[in-house]
């Protein structure tokens, strides 16, 4: 595809500037001549060419509204447009965050009710809606953990993180000054209880547990895990990024979790990707409520207000009160689905993942062959060992079939990993098309491996040198003949 500069033709233009109706001035009398650009080198193109060029560029982008995202652990699911429309209601969208509380009663009520819904869904005593993303929620949870032990005058220096945890968990703990210690998994994909028992010493502050874990498996021994942590006085922290799998089916608070962060931008109907906006509310058990961030929305009779008088609070973690538009979408999602609808979300998400697991099992290695939850993890080691085809090759080949590649090479304990999450929003028709593409790629790895290694064959660009593109990106535009700008 040509660059907009390559479409340029002298004399073409898409705009006209009217004659000035004010006296002209000499810029050099007001601005240093070194700051004045004589030639902007802007492309000269007609309006219709501009429209066609950028429309064509937009079609090169892949989004959930254009195709299927099988991205494991990221829950890139379709979001109902009605929730998007509600988030743009003028009464919410045009309200200034510095407006008086008397003008903001509807927004305050929404926030109060949303955190009440989250408490009921996840079995926690209270929630803060401030954190702006999942990792931000993790950090907030760890700060609460640290403040809790500081008040008890206990100096704990370590946190435990399973080898199946989300990648941001170690960073969140380390930022709070904790030494990160890895806990191994057993052959069934659960936490190794013996190893956890040895690691859970008196100087461990918390176990950060993703459940279901990144293998897409529910921790079968979760109550035993909670007991091991609590006997030593530790905190059981839950990474709730995979909540799609258990909505309405179980509540983390009932399983023994003391803190949990929830990714509203994954599970509860918000646009996802491109760095935001996100929302990672944090819920806590009763003994940690005093440490939640301030301000908090409280109900005072029939009115709602912001309360700051919580002496043990960790303080504010986000300007204003969180990413309000994301909270709006989540509220609309919960109210529109209700309890039965949320439970259906989990049922279909798990059904879809197990459908994909069963269909693809004959063609790819399945390291943990058991009922999965919202996602399943395959390995491409069979294709690598027999025909030299890497998981990266197969992922890129999916682009030629019109699908976004799944998460690859994660979790790290699975060699040549492919993590697939279909979510509850995809139909069996779409899943069949995806599975047929994956099966065709598996057969191609056997019959034409050299062809597969060149993928994508029909994409907007051909296969890049990944190392060079990451380490030496060249984003400058160059005229033809001046080098290989990309």
- Give, to the nearest 10 degrees, the angle between helix 134-151 and helix 168-175: 40
Burial of 173 (0-12, 13-18, 19+ CB in 10 A): buried
Q: In order of start, what are the domains of the chain with their CATH numbers?
A: 1-60 (no CATH), 81-337 (3.40.640.10), 346-471 (3.90.1150.10)
Token pair in block for residue 428 = 């069996």
299: β partners: 304
| pLDDT the model gives residue 473 | 78
Q: Do residues 384 and 417 make contact, with C-beta atoms less than 8 angstroms apart?
A: no
Place of tokens 């897409």: 216
Q: Do residues 130 and 318 make contact, with C-beta atoms less than 8 angstroms apart?
A: yes
Burial of 128 (0-12, 13-18, 19+ CB in 10 A): buried
367 vs 222: CA distance, rounded Å: 21
431 vs 417: CA distance, rounded Å: 20
56 vs 393: CA distance, rounded Å: 27
Cα dist. 52→1, 7, 49, 65 in Å? Answer: 12, 11, 5, 21
480 DSSP 8-state letter: T
133 vs 262: CA distance, rounded Å: 9
Q: Where are the alpha helices (DSSP H) in 388-457?
A: 391-400, 428-447, 449-452
Closest C-alpha to 362, from 378, 373, 374: 378
| pLDDT the model gives residue 481 | 47
Task: List average pLDDT for each run of 10 residues in the chain, which is 486 residues long.
Answer: 89 85 88 83 91 90 87 85 89 91 95 98 98 94 98 96 92 95 96 98 97 95 97 97 95 97 90 72 98 96 96 95 92 95 97 98 97 97 97 96 94 96 95 98 96 88 79 64 46
| pLDDT the model gives residue 475 | 63
Q: Do residues 261 and 140 make contact, with C-beta atoms less than 8 angstroms apart?
A: yes
Quickly list DSSP for 320-337.
Answer: BTB-HHHHHHHHHHHHHH
Token pair in block for residue 258 = 């003391």
CA distance from start to end of the chain: 12
240's enclosing H/E stretch is: strand 235-240
133 DSSP 8-state letter: S
Three-state DSSP at 252 gives: helix
Q: Do residues 226 and 202 make contact, with C-beta atoms less than 8 angstroms apart?
A: no
Q: Which residues contact 68 (CB under 8 A, 6 or more apart)?
A: 403, 404, 422, 426, 430, 433, 434
Closest C-alpha to 422, from 69, 20, 157: 69
């Amino acid at each position: 595809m040509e660059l907009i500069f390559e479409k340029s033709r002298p004399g073409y233009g898409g705009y006209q500037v009217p004659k000035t109706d004010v006296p002209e001035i000499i810029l050099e009398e007001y601005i240093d001549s070194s700051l004045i650009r004589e030639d902007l080198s802007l492309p000269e193109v007609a309006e219709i060419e501009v429209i066609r060029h950028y429309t064509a560029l937009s079609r090169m982008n892949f989004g959930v509204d254009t195709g299927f995202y099988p991205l494991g652990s990221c829950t890139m699911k379709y979001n109902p447009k009605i929730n998007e429309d509600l988030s743009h209601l003028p009464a919410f969208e045009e309200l200034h965050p510095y407006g008086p509380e008397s003008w903001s009663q509807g927004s305050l009520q929404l926030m109060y009710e949303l955190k009440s819904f989250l408490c009921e869904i996840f079995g926690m005593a209270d929630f803060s809606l401030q954190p702006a993303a999942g990792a931000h929620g993790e950090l907030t949870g760890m700060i609460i953990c640290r403040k809790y032990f500081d008040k008890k005058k206990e100096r704990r220096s370590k946190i435990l993180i399973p080898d199946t945890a989300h990648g941001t968990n170690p960073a969140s703990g380390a930022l709070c000054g904790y030494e990160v210690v890895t806990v191994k998994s057993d052959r069934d994909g659960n936490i190794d209880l013996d190893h956890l028992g040895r690691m859970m010493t008196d100087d461990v502050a918390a176990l950060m547990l993703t459940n279901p874990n990144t293998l897409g498996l529910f921790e079968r021994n979760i109550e035993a895990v909670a007991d091991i942590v609590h006997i030593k006085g530790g905190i059981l922290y839950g990474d709730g990024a995979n909540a799609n799998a258990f909505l309405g089916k179980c509540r983390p608070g009932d399983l023994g979790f003391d803190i949990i962060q929830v990714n509203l931008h994954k599970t509860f109907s918000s646009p996802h990707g491109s760095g935001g906006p996100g929302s990672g509310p944090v819920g806590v058990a009763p003994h940690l409520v005093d440490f939640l961030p301030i301000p908090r929305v409280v109900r005072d009779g029939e009115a709602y207000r912001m309360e700051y008088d919580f002496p043990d609070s960790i303080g504010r973690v986000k300007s204003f009160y969180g990413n309000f538009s994301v909270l709006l979408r989540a509220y609309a999602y919960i109210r529109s689905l209700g309890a039965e609808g949320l439970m259906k979300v989990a049922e279909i998400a798990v059904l879809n993942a197990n459908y994909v697991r069963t269909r693809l099992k004959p063609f790819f290695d399945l390291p943990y062959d058991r009922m999965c939850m919202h996602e399943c993890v395959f390995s491409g080691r069979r294709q690598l060992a027999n025909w030299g085809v890497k998981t990266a090759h197969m992922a890129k080949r999916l682009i030629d079939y019109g699908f976004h590649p799944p998460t690859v090479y994660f979790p790290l304990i699975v060699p040549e990993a492919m993590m697939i999450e279909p979510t509850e929003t995809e139909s069996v028709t779409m899943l069949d098309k995806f599975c047929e593409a994956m099966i065709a790629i598996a057969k191609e790895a056997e019959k034409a491996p050299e062809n597969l290694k060149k993928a994508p064959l029909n994409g907007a660009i051909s296969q890049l040198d990944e190392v060079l593109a990451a380490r030496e990106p060249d984003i400058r535009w160059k005229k033809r003949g001046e080098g290989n700008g990309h």
